[in-house]
Structure 1
Amino acid sequence: MDRNTFTGLFLILVILVGSTFLLKPSSEEIKREKFTQDSIATTKKNPQTIAKKTAVLTDSATVTNTDTALSSDLFKEELSVLENKAIKVTLSNKGGKIVSVQVKDEKTFDGKPLILFKAEDTNFGFEYKSGSQNLNTSDQAFKVVSQDAANIVMQMANSDGSSLNYTYTLAADSNKVGFKVDAKGFENKVSGDQMVLDWNTKLLQQEKDLHNERLGSTTYFQKGDGEVDYLSESKDDEKVLNEGKTNWVSFKEHFFSAALIAKDGFSKAHIKITTLADSSAVKSYSAQLSVPYKNNQVNTYDLQFYFGSNKFSQLKAQGHDLDKQVKMGWGPLKWINRFLVLPIFNFFESMNLGYGLIILLLTIILKTVLLPFTYKSYLSMAKMRVLKPEMDEIKAKVGEGNQALVQQEYMKLYKQAGVNPLGGCLPMVFQMPFILAFFYFFPNLFELRQESFLWMHDLSTYDELIKFPTIPLLGWNHISLMCLLMTISTLIYTYFNNQISGVQGQMKYIGYITPIIFFGVLNSYPAGLNYYYFCANILTFSQQYFIRKFVDDDKIHAQIQENKKKPEAKKKGGFQKKMEEMMRQQQLNQQKKK
């Protein structure tokens, strides 16, 4: 058992180190990204060249309307703005598209205005086939035909009388931008029964830890049956959705999202996510979304954008199950966080308490609920400690070479003394779901973003005690003080716990190895999560200290001796029968080998 345990710990270390290399982009991906960046740089230096290349015909091989085709001589890009207290949306007459969004009242990790994406990284337009030509409105010239504080109407007018109207609407204090499309006069000009809305962009880095931000960034989508799913967060991924409708697609990064919602759904969708070598962008997002086209005078499409934070309450207020983008864990962990932890958190937040105090109060509530189980655990460990001399006598009498018989004699002793050897595990069994639930809760909690407590300037990311050049293999470039305190408190707690339980031999040292492994894992995790684990350790240690004042080993020993004098119950439990039968079988097998 000891050899297997240490082997398992070694394999865990191998996985942690190996993942550092496996998640790195390949040399081919780095070269491809470098080529893209070089192309963008060339474009900026020679704008006339790219303007000529993007001169695209509207719906005919002959251009007769200079207002529609982009010409390096005649076309001049103009920007329009829709703005309220929540967001600032910038639109361009090139393609009539949204080219940039600023989320107000939010800043990047280095204090700059929070811009979700930039114009040079964004394409948005309808792709359709007219005869033998593949056309895209993203490169067409639009005109602003009307504008006020809440609405902008942009139009692409063709020489044959057909037109494409975009109506953007932004209500006060809203993070949603209404997007209505009217395609007029396209009868017998569009091949097929659908048009494809092509949207691709790069979302910019907003948080200090780009690696963790990428691990929380991907494309989410909702199918027509209401199921919300997402692409891989740890690697490049893509998916083609041909069956049923797709209600919405969201380009999500860790704490912010850009989503597109269709009132009648998209008939097909092809979505893709790519991790970039570019250190300023989180990931590259791409979506080709099909909408049905009918050969009518007018085709109308009602869409909506959402630009804003991934705060659970804010996403839930938008409807459409956008709140399912916030990862609350899997299975029962999700229900613990959504229906138990989050309401308590919101209650304390409504009292205008600091977030450090809220985390402490959550920990106190959890430890108070588990106090009866902690007491029983301590009592069970005390009984095992009192029985230790008798167990040593059994081991010396039987001999260490016959472990099966030793365990069988131990079981008899436990039965006579009325001791449950697994009683000490009871609090951990009840506490483990909450430990795992908080592991998802705090790293994905928007409320902790850029909130300070003590020396920690941002509870949603790691705090830096020491910063240094990146260590090869481990990938570390800092030491988190809160993670270090959490690890030290765990080691101290393990030491005193071993004194209480009387653990001996190699098993005693396993408790010291585990916190060190966790330090390697949690060093880059949010300070808020490590602060919770630190508080939990201190409270558990304090509870055991006071419980020890009320537990007398002499009284426990006397009670055990009284239990031994009682007649044994004739009926044995099914589990006990199986354990004894298994030990007898092991003993027979050992005798046969000898």
Structure 2
Amino acid sequence: MDRNSIFGLLIIGAILIGYTYLTKPSEEEIKAINTRDSIARVDRLHNEEVEAARLEGLKAQYAEVKEDTVAMKESYGAFAGAVNQQEEFITLENKLVKLTLNTKGGRISNVQLKKFQTHDSLPLLLWAEKNSKFGLTFYSENKPMNTQDLFFVEANGADAVDATSSEKGVSMRLMVGDDKYIEYKYTLAPDSYMVDFTVNLVGMQDVISRNSNFVTFNWQEDIPGQEKGRKFENQYTALYYKFFEDAVESLSAAGEKEEDLATKVKWIGFKQQFFSSVLIADEAFKGVKLKSSTMDETSRVLKNFSAEISLPYQGNKIETYPMQFYFGPNKFKTLRKYGKDIQLESMVNLGWGIFGWINRYFVIEIFNFLERFISNYGIIILILTIIIKLLLAPLTYKSYMSTAKMKVLKPQIDAINEKIPKDKAMERQQATMALYKKAGVNPMGGCLPMLVQFPFLIALFRFFPASFELRQQSFLWAKDLSSYDSIMTLPWNIPWYGDHVSLFCLLMAGTNLVYTSMNGQMQSSQQMPGMKYMMYLMPVMFLGWFNNYASGLSYYYFIATLFTVLQTIAIRKFMVDDDKVLAMLEANKKKPVKKSKFQQRLEEAAKQRGKK
């Protein structure tokens, strides 16, 4: 190297040394750098610890999930993938019914009847998820399975009933594999209370235990109170069922009752007072176990109904069980429309025998006819009452005439009783009957007309509480003709009476007292000992019997009795005169007594015995 190079290197070195000296950090800066480095070193160590903990946590979580998966696999077998999913709700509705379906269980969650409300103006839920059970039970891999605990998915594709967004149909599937599933199909027709419900088992022959001969469909509901007056509503809430091609029966409406039906059953109905949920078989259910339980009076629930239905299982690739649900009102005309061939209308209790015939073929027909022209049901009941009373007027007149004849003969009966001592009761009776026969009076003549009218009284006793048409229909002070009317709430509950005062019941009892008094003037206390006071006691007893009954019934009895009172006054004033009746009976005495053929045969037989 020459001198210039060495000199240049020295200058560069001096510059570097000078620069280093001039730019070196101060003691404060050195301390800050050391502090920053320490913090960075601590953060790095903390992050390493956190990451290590996270990895340990993931390992533990994975182990736990793996353990749960193994446990779930052991518990649910092929259905383990249908557990612990998110619930989703699907709505299926028309103008009448709104169904809410839940993917958990693939079941009907709620049933709302859109045109009706409860007595306190709430939406009328015929079926609520929290108060019901719905699903199939069967054995798989020797373990009991219940579809209510498993999650379904909506079915998409050409083989589904309809897309989920459709207003008419929904298909829900519990998937086990690509071609293995349990399917519930729901189809709701426009403007209909009927829901088609089909259960399909597809590819389940290797999933459901091979030794199974049936799967069980479980349906259970808590029946809530929908109407005013728990006790009365409870009487008309019952579990009904119809035998295949046979009669409709029901479990006892009170207490707890079970029935194990080996005979084929066409349908099962969970009936409330005015609404029903009915499960109808396409053909017939071949094994059914039913149970009805009455809840405590403090419970909001009236009763609990349950049905266990055995569906035959043959292990085929596809097993299909078509059914239908009816969710709707217990209106006689509506039930007959939807189930005329299967007697759904038999759930409306109109009475047995002749009482039911009167309601079906007379009262309901008149009621339905008047509905076309009159919207006020109080007026309809009034007109119905007048029609019935006019039809029975000839019998009423005949009954009054019989009573009038007995009345005018009373002095002659009293004379016989004075003439013949009390210890000769048989002789008294013979003399009295001879007088009746000679005067042409039948002492039982007033009973037959009353017996003819009696079926109408009983028939209408059944009709009004069961008449859906009267539900929540107001008239005068009565807000609901299907339940009791109340003009006063009492501060306490009176046994056999209640905690309120029904004005229609009071009016009915009052008119019955008036009618009883009028009849008492026509009757002979000696002919009917003790009956006079019993007749006065009956209207008083009506207060306890009818205070909690349908106000429409009390209103009908009030109008009917009032009409009878007016009829009696009119007959007494314008049609029957006691003097004329007595003159007619005296004229009858002068006529020869006609003997019946039976009496002639008896007398002839007596003569023959006398000759021997």
CA contact (8 A) 1:65 1:159 kept: no
CA contact (8 A) 2:497 2:545 kept: no
Counterpart CA distance in 1 for 2:250 and 2:412 is 57
Aligned residue number for residue 252 of structure 1: 271
Aligned residue number for residue 585 of structure 1: none
CA displacement, residues 513-565 of structure 1 (integer Å, 9 cap, x when unaligned): 12222322121110111111111101111111111122111111222222222
Amino acid at match of 1:275: T
Partner-residue secondary structure (3-state), 2:82: coil
Counterpart CA distance in 1 for 2:571 and 2:229 is 42
CA contact (8 A) 1:83 1:89 kept: yes
CA contact (8 A) 1:58 1:135 kept: no
Amino acid at match of 2:382: L
Q: Give the 3 Å change call, closer, same or farther, for CA 233–470 of structure 1 in structure 2.
A: farther
CA contact (8 A) 1:187 1:297 kept: yes
Residue of structure 2 aligned with 1:365, choices 384, 387, 406: 387
State whether structure 2 residue 188 is matched by structure 1 residue 164.
no
State whether structure 2 residue 589 is matched by structure 1 residue 564.
yes
What is the CA distance between 1:442 and its match in structure 2? Answer: 0.9
Residue of structure 2 aligned with 1:480, choices 470, 477, 502: 502
Q: Give the 3 Å change call, closer, same or farther, for CA 293–56 of structure 1 in structure 2.
A: farther
Alignment of structure 1 residues 460-499 onto 2, 5 Å? 460-471=482-493, 473-474=495-496, 476-499=498-521
What is the CA distance between 1:402 and its match in structure 2? Answer: 3.5
CA displacement, residues 474-493 of structure 1 (integer Å, 9 cap, x when unaligned): 36222211011101100101
Q: Which moved more, 1:215-224 or 1:505-514?
A: 505-514
Aligned residue number for residue 443 of structure 2: 421
What is the CA distance between 1:447 and its match in structure 2? Answer: 0.3
Aligned residue number for residue 471 of structure 2: 449
Task: Report the TM-score, using the length of structure 2 for normalisation.
Answer: 0.81
CA contact (8 A) 1:56 1:140 kept: no
State whether structure 2 residue 256 is matched by structure 1 residue 236.
yes
Q: Give the 3 Å change call, closer, same or farther, for CA 403–332 of structure 1 in structure 2.
A: same
CA contact (8 A) 1:56 1:139 kept: no
Amino acid at match of 2:399: S
Aligned residue number for residue 118 of structure 1: 128
State whether structure 2 residue 325 is matched by structure 1 residue 305.
yes
Aligned residue number for residue 209 of structure 1: 229
CA contact (8 A) 1:117 1:204 kept: no
Amino acid at match of 1:404: M
Aligned residue number for residue 538 of structure 1: 562
Residue of structure 2 aligned with 1:522, choices 543, 546, 562: 546
Counterpart CA distance in 2 for 1:57 and 1:290 is 30
Amino acid at match of 1:297: K
Aligned residue number for residue 45 of structure 2: none
Aligned residue number for residue 267 of structure 1: 286
Residue of structure 1 aligned with 2:452, choices 415, 430, 439: 430
CA contact (8 A) 2:77 2:140 kept: no
Q: Give the 3 Å change call, closer, same or farther, for CA 440–242 of structure 1 in structure 2.
A: same
Residue of structure 1 aligned with 2:366, choices 314, 338, 344: 344
What is the CA distance between 1:119 and its match in structure 2? Answer: 1.4
CA contact (8 A) 2:76 2:145 kept: no
| Matched residue count | 520
What is the CA distance between 1:367 and its match in structure 2? Answer: 1.2
Q: Give the 3 Å change call, closer, same or farther, for CA 329–490 of structure 1 in structure 2.
A: same
What is the CA distance between 1:161 and its match in structure 2? Answer: 4.8
What is the CA distance between 1:173 and its match in structure 2? Answer: 0.9
Q: Give the 3 Å change call, closer, same or farther, for CA 80–536 of structure 1 in structure 2.
A: same
Q: Give the 3 Å change call, closer, same or farther, for CA 466–294 of structure 1 in structure 2.
A: same
Counterpart CA distance in 2 for 1:64 and 1:304 is 29
CA contact (8 A) 1:462 1:527 kept: yes
Q: Give the 3 Å change call, closer, same or farther, for CA 62–313 of structure 1 in structure 2.
A: closer
CA displacement, residues 36-86 of structure 1 (integer Å, 9 cap, x when unaligned): xxxxxxxxxxxxxxxxxxx999997565776401x2xxx221211111110
Counterpart CA distance in 2 for 1:507 and 1:64 is 77
Counterpart CA distance in 2 for 1:332 and 1:62 is 57
Which structure 2 residue ranges, 5 or more long, are not aligned?
1-68, 156-162, 607-612
What is the CA distance between 1:160 and its match in structure 2? Answer: 7.7
Counterpart CA distance in 1 for 2:70 and 2:282 is 30
Amino acid at match of 2:227: E
Residue of structure 2 aligned with 1:282, choices 291, 302, 312: 302
What is the CA distance between 1:90 and its match in structure 2? Answer: 0.9
CA contact (8 A) 2:119 2:228 kept: yes
Amino acid at match of 1:257: S
Alignment of structure 1 residues 391-402 onto 2, 5 Å? 391-402=413-424
State whether structure 2 residue 248 is matched by structure 1 residue 224.
no
Which has the higher relative contact order, 1 or 2, with Cα contacts under 8 A spaced 6 or more apart?
1
Counterpart CA distance in 2 for 1:56 and 1:550 is 95
What is the CA distance between 1:571 and its match in structure 2? Answer: 5.0
Aligned residue number for residue 591 of structure 1: none
Q: Give the 3 Å change call, closer, same or farther, for CA 224–499 of structure 1 in structure 2.
A: same
Partner-residue secondary structure (3-state), 1:116: strand
Q: Give the 3 Å change call, closer, same or farther, for CA 525–64 of structure 1 in structure 2.
A: closer
Amino acid at match of 1:562: A
Which structure 1 residue ranges, 5 or more long, are not aligned?
1-54, 582-594
Counterpart CA distance in 2 for 1:473 and 1:576 is 58
Aligned residue number for residue 513 of structure 1: 537
What is the CA distance between 1:472 and its match in structure 2? Answer: 5.8
Counterpart CA distance in 2 for 1:133 and 1:345 is 57
Q: Give the 3 Å change call, closer, same or farther, for CA 570–400 of structure 1 in structure 2.
A: same
Counterpart CA distance in 2 for 1:176 and 1:535 is 39
What is the CA distance between 1:473 and its match in structure 2? Answer: 4.2
CA contact (8 A) 1:194 1:291 kept: yes
CA displacement, residues 328-372 of structure 1 (integer Å, 9 cap, x when unaligned): 100111111111111111101111342111111111111111111
Residue of structure 1 aligned with 2:217, choices 197, 214, 232: 197
State whether structure 2 residue 192 is matched by structure 1 residue 174.
yes
Q: Give the 3 Å change call, closer, same or farther, for CA 543–463 of structure 1 in structure 2.
A: same
Aligned residue number for residue 82 of structure 2: 68
Q: Which moved more, 1:345-354 or 1:282-291?
A: 345-354
Q: Give the 3 Å change call, closer, same or farther, for CA 140–376 of structure 1 in structure 2.
A: same
State whether structure 2 residue 116 is matched by structure 1 residue 91.
no
Aligned residue number for residue 47 of structure 1: none
What is the CA distance between 1:235 and its match in structure 2? Answer: 2.4
Counterpart CA distance in 1 for 2:90 and 2:303 is 27
Task: Report the TM-score, using the length of structure 1 for normalisation.
Answer: 0.83
What RMSD in Å do the two structures reach over aligned CA positions?
2.3
Alignment of structure 1 residues 36-51 onto 2, 5 Å? none
Q: Give the 3 Å change call, closer, same or farther, for CA 576–252 of structure 1 in structure 2.
A: farther
Aligned residue number for residue 588 of structure 1: none
Q: Give the 3 Å change call, closer, same or farther, for CA 404–577 of structure 1 in structure 2.
A: farther
What is the CA distance between 1:225 and its match in structure 2? Answer: 2.1
Aligned residue number for residue 7 of structure 2: none
CA contact (8 A) 2:200 2:321 kept: yes
Q: Give the 3 Å change call, closer, same or farther, for CA 178–56 of structure 1 in structure 2.
A: farther
What is the CA distance between 1:138 and its match in structure 2? Answer: 0.9
Partner-residue secondary structure (3-state), 1:423: coil
Q: Give the 3 Å change call, closer, same or farther, for CA 470–198 of structure 1 in structure 2.
A: farther
Aligned residue number for residue 458 of structure 1: 480
Counterpart CA distance in 2 for 1:256 and 1:478 is 26
Aligned residue number for residue 552 of structure 1: 577
Counterpart CA distance in 2 for 1:304 and 1:160 is 28
Tell me the percent identity: 41
What is the CA distance between 1:227 and its match in structure 2? Answer: 1.9
Partner-residue secondary structure (3-state), 2:493: coil
